[in-house]
Amino acid sequence: MEFKRHRRLRTSSSMRALVRENHLRVEDFIYPMFVIEGEHTKNEVPSMPGVYQVSMDLLLDEVREVYNLGIKSIMFFGVISAKDEIGTGAFVDDGIVQTAIRLVKNEFPDLLIIADTCLCEYTDHGHCGVIHDHDVDNDESLKLLAKTAVSQAKAGADIIAPSNMMDGFVAVIRQALDEEGFKNIPIMSYAVKYASSFYGPFRDAADSTPQFGDRKTYQMDPANRIEALREAESDIQEGADFIMVKPALSFLDIVRDVRNRFDVPVVAYNVSGEYAMIKAAAQNGWINEKELVLEMLTSMKRAGADIILTYFAKDVANWLNENK
Ligand code: PBG
């Protein structure tokens, strides 16, 4: 009886390494960080063990640790208490993220700093834009988002990453950046962002839970697949340099669809709820955290992601360095 012996290529660790199709590199990762007002503050986020809100005076030490692990890219989120209707804290030149960018850029010039461009951490209602008639006003919000992006670029951000899901955000941000002399600053668009329950822990970390309603009139319905291609296509036409799919784990089919259709770098956002689930299971001793995290992140590469935003970036960098 003739049959094929697939096990021949699995006989040893070296043999398996020889035929391995997908790999994780420390350069693939973007590490998200939360900067909070005040001093001497390092608050662990309860639903995200190992993730902290860090005040400005402690930030350089935190970033140094990340940098020394070989991670080349970080993303900042700001946590402030003085919020208002239009999210002024997002676009003032001395805003928390702008200040963090200046500080870190000065100390680590070759570290890529990515700015998340959104209003939800700065509005008193917690929505990603301004509210008119109980809904988020698309076109009014665009003006503020463009201002936010320009202020982040002025502070020294290397990449602008708009996560607000207003229609036309890439077009207006591209135009504003170009007019202000930032033609070479790329846009990493959260083009395909679902209205997901996996963001719960992040909203604790960033204090950005909507005070009424939800984000379903601007973020995508998790049931939809074809719509993801429309979202990605319009963002690329408007000038997006990278396309992000978010969340990642339950949306690997979408990562693959976007990879197959478009020729820009694809980013997968391994979001807070994905992190929290693994941490909780690991704390209970129910899973092998290291093996599971490496398997999960490799599956994102296999699905077609070039880049992964993950709260596990430091752990993975440590694990990859161990194997060197
Ligand atoms: C802001 C934003 C969110 C996340 C990143 N940027 C939350 C949201 O849309 O409510 C979530 C990230 C995560 O869950 O890790 N718009």
pLDDT tens track, the chain, 324 positions: 899 999 999 999 999 999 999 999 999 999 999 999 999 999 999 999 999 999 999 999 999 999 999 999 999 999 999 999 999 999 999 999 999 999 999 999 999 999 999 999 999 999 999 999 889 999 999 999 999 999 999 999 999 999 999 999 999 999 999 999 999 999 999 999 999 999 999 988 988 889 998 999 999 999 999 999 999 999 999 999 999 999 999 999 999 999 999 999 999 999 999 999 999 999 999 999 999 999 999 999 999 999 999 999 999 999 999 977
Task: Judge whether 193 counts as a catalytic residue.
Answer: yes
Tokens of residue 169, six digits = 């955000």
What pLDDT is recorded for position 112? Answer: 98
pLDDT of residue 1: 84
Determine the pLDDT at residue 134: 87
d(CA 164, CA 307): 20
At 91 the pLDDT is 96
Q: How many CB atoms lie within 10 A of CB 203?
A: 16
Supply the pLDDT for residue 207. Answer: 87
The reported pLDDT for the residue numbered 166 is: 93
Q: Indicate the pTM of the whole model.
A: 0.96
Supply the residue whose CA is at minimum distance from atom 7 of ligand 1: 199
**17 CB burial (10 A radius; 0-12, 13-18, 19+):** exposed
CB of 134 closer than 8 Å to CB of 95: no
Spatial contact of 127 and 195, defined as CB atoms under 8 Å apart: no
CA of 302 to the centre of ligand 1 (A): 24
**H runs (alpha helix) in the chain:** 13-18, 56-68, 96-107, 138-155, 169-179, 200-206, 226-238, 252-261, 272-283, 289-303, 313-322
Within 10 Å of residue 262's Cβ, how many Cβ atoms? 17
Compute CA 262 distance to the chain's CA centroid, rounded to the nearest angstrom.
Answer: 20
Q: Are 111 and 72 in contact (CB under 8 A)?
A: yes
Question: Is 143 annotated as catalytic?
Answer: no
CA of 218 to the centre of ligand 1 (A): 13
Q: Which atom of ligand 1 is nearest to the CA of 275?
A: 15
Instruction: Please state whether the peptide bond connecting residue 247 to the residue before it is cis, i.e. omega within 30 degrees of 0.
Output: yes
